[in-house]
Structure 1
Amino acid sequence: MKNQQKIEIPFLMALIPFIVMISIMAITIIKFGGSPHIPLLIGAVIAALIGWRYGYKWDIIEEGAYKGIRMALPAIVIILLVGLIIGAWIGGGIVATMIYYGLKIITPSLFLVTICIICAIVTLAIGSSWSTMGTIGVAGMGIGVSMGIPAAMVAGAVISGAYFGDKMSPLSDTTNLAAGITETPLFTHIKHMVYTTIPGLLIALVVYFILGRQFASTAVDIGNINSILSALESNFVISPWLLLVPLAVIVLVAKKVPALPALTIGVLLGWLCYVFIQGGSVADAVNTLHDGFVISSGNEMVDNLFNRGGIESMMYTVSLTIVAMIFGGIMEQVGMLQAIVNQILKVAKSAGSLIAATIVSAFFTNATASEQYISILLPGRMYAKAYRDKKLHSKNLSRALEDGGTVTSPLIPWNTCGVFIVATLGVSTFAYAPYAILNYTVPIISIFMAFIGLKVEFLTEQELKALEEKEARQSAKTDDGDASTSVLT
């Protein structure tokens, strides 16, 4: 039952599922504070009905939903592994050690630069910008304001650092989503983001250095920092030797070890640190891998930061990925995504303009769907074929999704990220946005590089041949599965 139907759906009809989904999502998220799962399912139903109305058989539409889920399976496996490694590294004291030494480097004369770097380090360690902003960010706001630094400046520095770490951390769910949905090896994706993200961070640090000079002589109350350091010392064995664990993972990656075995070794090392260095029981260490780490330190910020991890913590992201891929899979199967992309490609004909269109589309999805995960998932499926047709390496697409989706989400007041930041840091979006330097310089740098052709990578003949062979194998498996289904029915 391989799809042999070539039914063209008009552009305006192809937009209807998007319009319905986005409208319901806006109401669900902004008015009711709900999740995007149900609006996506409703959008999938609308897409299926339109496809059926235009002549697509139900088994073809259903296969599109399953195909979408199958494409997300590598990302889902990595996301589950990330939950394991977060739990193991928190329990093993590795994250606590990173944060402890990061907080030690605070100096009043370079506060904006320092808080940005600390937030970047912490988010690199735990993979969650929200957790960093809700803990270290909150502490930084109190310290910065006590120094007389405007709250908007401090918030901007916190956000820039947190989102740098969120983009570059192999533990980040958005990083894994972008890599998985485009079928790009995780560390290949991260390495390719260096070219746009590092310049964005450097620009931000230069601006924060200049802004911070006027506050160099101001005294600071470091009570909050000392409180956190004391809580860490009381609840964890802090040792620079524990930094060998993340270093080992970095070395494995540098040796081109694939993400799954590299991260698995990271989980194992973290688990051993939990049992043999932190003195946790084997039972607690095992339970932490599933349920996450649990701590009651007496310090609310430390508890909020460390009560997390485990497979269970990733179920929201996994379920959202599955639902989004059902929607995207049906839209792709019945030709709706292609109808929309065809209109965009009438303008975006070159490789550079295609990458720029992807970045703009991810930002537009952030603004309309109000959810950063959707800004990665939907454009990722929309443009996959266009990149393949132009023989562009998938890492161009994965980077563009993050440059346009992940980092721009805090700049939109009604996006879930914007709403979270306002509630957590107590600064309005329009106030902190000018100081969230990295979040708007990265997409600008990315678009500029795309148009001048800098670090726009094409598939080599060998890579193209390997990709064609892989697609042939996948097609053969689909045909075998369809034949088996026909026999059974």
Structure 2
Amino acid sequence: MTQEKKKHTTSLLESIVILVGMLACLGILIIKYKMIPHIPILMVFTVLLFYGKFRGYSWDEIHDGIVEGIKPGIIPIIIFLLIGVLVATWIASGTIPTIMYYGFKMVSVKFFIPTIFLLCTVIGITVGSSFTTISTMGIAFLGIGHILGFSTALTVGAIVSGAFLGNNLSPLSDTTNLASGIAGIDVYDHIKSMAETALPAALISLVFYVVVGSSSKSANMAGIQQMADVLMTHFDISFWAILPVIILFIFAWLKVPAIPSLLISSFSALFITLFRSKQHYSLKVLCDMLMNGFVAKTGNRQMNVLLSRGGMASMLNSAALIILALSLGGLLIKYQVVEVLITNIQQFVNTPGKLIMMTIVSATGINFLVGEQYLSVILSGETFKSAYDKLPLDRKYLSRTLSAGGSAVNALVPWGVSGIFIAGALGVNPIDYVPFATYSFIEPIISIVIGFTVVTWRYRKNQAK
């Protein structure tokens, strides 16, 4: 019997067993035993690899599945490496220290957490990238929060919530344009529709951050002033240091892709470092900084820990995890596990509420199975697009549902691209910040609730005409 005859379409039961077994293994090892995700994912990947061979797939076909799975992550991996460079140069040039310095002067301790949530939202809308917001402003806000005495998990949760809210509402965002493109609607119509679920989620998150943030202990203002003095002494705190931020914003509005934008902003920061820095840098030292990150030598241990980061090497751990996670996702797609699960879900979507809920479940499930937000949006969108037309239900509901279940949820997956990036950029375990990243899990819930209420009411009203 040939390999082609041995192969069969994966059954629903088989797909469910694979899904439950995989998530159980990852959940127990990563959450209960607090293992770094690399090895648990490698273990599941190994089992799936030989499962495919047992089911009749050739090694070439299995390798093709791995390659196809990794392809969507190639650009994000390059962006990750360049963000490592950006962070190092922004610290050396005084960009991040300048933001921290004026943050110390301006921020209200009582409203610090809701303030950074709102600021990250505005920055995310302006830049159109949650990753850029988190890796630049997020680092500055994390440093300020640390000095003020706020927990890392809470601070990162507010940063992540604001960054992803801004990303979902930005016409410059790649995932926003992807969701509207898959649904076939205008991006601004998508954003208007998105606001109906995103703004209530934002309001609930804001109230949560006001309550939780205000319950924190009072900060040591003398210590804060000391930290501000350390920044002023060892870094260039000036308007020139803000230029790399301005350049990044301008390029975002001009819709210049992320890779050239990050490179030009990094090199502008490097130029400022050479001519404005209070330290002398040789070519060898600069190259080492770009690779291994900036090392702060301020004489203050706490500040040294906060500002010793960045460099391409800091992102290699994340890049390795992305390759493993996407390889695993590629095998699941190759073996038709994802396709079978989604196809069987379709039979339950005979009302607007059920259709929206199943789209959310599908996008969220793919996030946890594959770990990639782009594939989550694409696969769910292409699968359910015809169901929205058949019902019929306006595709604006499809596009905003894809953003809610696809883009926002990815930040909650420890082995997902976003979860991996956040952990690497901010040095935090995803399990710790997830409970405080309220927007990312409130948005899908609100989408489902509105689907069963407001959208269903509108649908019935239109059908009655």
In the superposition, the TM-score normalised over structure 1's length comes to 0.67
What is the SS of the residue equivalent to 1:310?
A: coil
Give per-residue Cα distances to partners, 1:280-331, cap 9 Å, x unaligned. 4133222211111111323343223211111111111111111111111111
**2:410 corresponds to which of 372, 385, 405:** 405
1:136 has 2:136 as partner: no
Give the Cα–Cα distance (whole angstroms) in 2 for the partners of residues 107 and 302 of structure 1. Answer: 20
Deviation (angstroms), 1:16: 3.4
**Whole-angstrom CA distance in 2 between matches of 1:207 and 1:261:** 37
**Where does the alignment leave 5 or more consecutive residues of structure 2 unmatched?**
125-130, 390-394, 456-465
Letter in 1 for 2:96: V
When residues 439 and 381 of structure 1 are mapped into structure 2, their CA distance, relative to the original with a 3 A threshold, is closer
Amino acid at match of 1:272: F
| Counterpart in the other structure of 2:383 | 386
Q: CA separation in 2, counterparts of 1:305 and 1:192?
A: 36
Structure 1 residue 239, shift from structure 2 partner:
0.8
Write the mapping of 1:34-433 to structure 2, written as runs, cut at 5 A.
Answer: 34-107=35-108, 110=111, 113-114=114-115, 116=117, 127=135, 135-141=143-149, 158-167=155-164, 195=195, 200-205=201-206, 221-278=220-277, 279-281=279-281, 282-348=283-349, 356-357=357-358, 359-360=360-361, 374=371, 376=373, 379=376, 383=380, 385-386=382-383, 397=402, 400-406=405-411
Cα RMSD, aligned residues only:
4.9
Offset at 1:224? 3.2
2:128 is aligned to: none
Once the 2 structures are TM-superposed, how far is the Cα of residue 234 of structure 1 from its aligned partner? 2.0
> Matched residues in 1 for 2:355 and 2:236: separation?
50
User: Are 2:30 and 1:29 equivalent residues in the alignment?
Assistant: yes
Conserved? CA contact 2:100–2:143, under 8 Å: no
- Bigger Cα displacement from structure 2, 46-55 vs 132-141: 132-141
CA distance in 2, matches of 1:304, 1:234: 17
Contact 1:325–1:377, Cα closer than 8 Å, also in 2: no
Q: 1:346 to 1:82 in 2, by over 3 A?
A: farther
Change (3 A) 1:198 1:340: same
**Cα gap change, 1:384 to 1:43, in 2 (>3 Å):** farther
Q: Is the 8 A contact 2:7 2:57 kept in 1?
A: no
Amino acid at match of 1:65: I
Contact kept? 1:69, 1:325, Cα under 8 Å: yes
Q: How does 1:430-469 map to 2 (within 5 A)?
A: 438=439, 440-447=441-448
User: How many residues are aligned here?
Assistant: 417
Deviations, residues 19-77 of structure 1 (Å, cap 9, x unaligned): 33333323432454322222223323333333333333332122111111223212212
Q: Is the 8 A contact 1:72 1:180 kept in 2?
A: no
8 Å Cα contact 1:355-1:397 kept in structure 2: no
Instruction: Determine the C-alpha separation between the residues in 2 that align with 1:46 and 1:324.
Output: 14
Closer/same/farther in 2, CA of residues 14 and 111 from structure 1, 3 Å limit: closer
Q: What are the Cα deviations for residues 169-208 of structure 1, in whole angstroms up to 9, with x where unaligned?
A: 89xxxx99979999999xx99x969846666445544565
Identify if the C-alpha distance between structure 1 residues 66 and 162 changes in structure 2 by more than 3 Å, giving closer, same or farther. same
| 3-state SS of 1:346 partner | helix
Matched with 1:462 is none
**Cα distance in structure 2, aligned partners of 1:85 and 1:75:** 15
Q: What SS does structure 2 have at the residue aligned with 1:383?
A: helix
Cα distance, 1:363 vs structure 2: 6.0
Assess if the C-alpha contact under 8 Å between 1:87 and 1:308 holds in 2: yes
Question: For residue 465 of structure 1, what is the aligned residue in structure 2?
Answer: none
Q: Which amino acid aligns with 1:163?
A: V
Task: Give the aligned partner of residue 460 of structure 2.
Answer: none
Q: Which amino acid aligns with 2:135?
A: G
Residue 136 of structure 1 contacts residue 301 of structure 1 at CA under 8 Å; is this kept in 2? no
Amino acid at match of 1:383: S
Q: Tell me the amino acid that sits aligned with residue 52 of structure 1.
A: K
Q: Report the residue type matching 1:263 in the other structure.
A: L
Q: Tell me if the contact between 1:100 and 1:232 (Cα under 8 Å) persists in the aligned partners.
A: yes
Q: How far off its partner does 1:241 sit?
A: 3.1
Q: Distance in 2 between matches of 1:97 and 1:246?
A: 11
Q: CA deviation at 1:219?
A: 7.5
Change (3 A) 1:222 1:118: farther
Q: Distance in 1 between matches of 2:325 and 2:144?
A: 32
Structure 2 counterpart of 1:250, one-letter code: F
**Against the structure 1 CA distance between its residues 129 and 351, is the aligned structure 2 distance closer, same or farther, given a 3 Å change threshold?**
farther
The AA in structure 2 aligned to 1:233 is M
Q: Using the alignment, how far apart are the partners of 2:94 and 2:40 within structure 1?
A: 40
Evaluate the alpha carbon distance shift between residue 294 and residue 254 of structure 1 in structure 2; reply closer, same or farther with a 3 A threshold. same
- Structure 1 residues 64 and 274, CA, compared in 2 at 3 Å: closer, same or farther? same
Question: Structure 1 pair 103/365, CA: closer, same or farther in 2 (3 Å)?
Answer: farther
Matched, 1:15 2:20: no
The alpha carbon displacement at 1:362 in A equals 6.6
**Residue-by-residue CA offset, 1:345-375 (whole Å, 9 max, x unaligned):** 3335789866644544676789x89xxx947
Once residues 26 and 166 of structure 2 are traced to their aligned partners in structure 1, the CA distance between those partners, rounded to angstroms, is 29
For residue 348 of structure 2, give the secondary structure of its aligned residue in structure 1: coil
What CA deviation, in whole Å up to 9, does each residue of 1:249-289 have, x standing for no partner? Answer: 11111112222222211111111122111144133222211
